[in-house]
Amino acid sequence: MTKDEITAWALANGWAMIDGFPSLTKPTKPHPAIVRLVLKATVASVEIKKPAGKWEKVSGESYSRIAADPDSGMPGGLGLGTISGLTLLMQDNQDRKMMAGIGAMKP
Instruction: Kindly report, residue by residue over 23-75, the tens digit of the pLDDT.
Output: 999 877 767 899 999 999 999 999 999 988 899 999 999 999 999 989 888 99
Q: What is the pLDDT of residue 36?
A: 96
Q: What is the spatial distance between Cα 45 and Cα 43, in angstroms, rounded to a whole number?
A: 7
Alpha carbons within 13 A on the beta-carbon side of 20: 3
pLDDT score of 6: 96
107 lies in a domain? no
In a domain, 106, yes or no: no
For residues 34 and 49, is the Cβ–Cβ distance under 8 A? yes
pLDDT at position 21: 96
Q: Per the domain annotation, does 52 fall within a domain?
A: yes
Cis peptide before 32 (omega within 30 of 0): yes
Domain assignment of residue 37, yes or no: yes
Domain membership flag for residue 105: no
Neighbours of 20 (CB within 10 A): 9
pLDDT band at 97 (very low <50, low <70, confident <90, very high): confident
- Structural domain including 81 reads 3-100
Tell me what the mean pLDDT of segment 93-107 comes to.
72
* 73, part of any domain: yes
Higher pLDDT, 85 or 62: 62
The predicted pLDDT at position 71 comes to 87
For residue 105, what pLDDT is reported? 53
Count of structural domains within the chain: 1
For residue 14, CA distances in Å to 35, 65, 68, 75, 87 come to 12, 23, 17, 14, 10
Calpha distance 38→3 (Å, rounded): 10
Q: Considering the domain boundaries, does residue 12 fall inside one?
A: yes
Whether residue 84 lies inside any domain: the answer is yes
3-state SS track over 1-21: CCHHHHHHHHHHCCCEEECCE
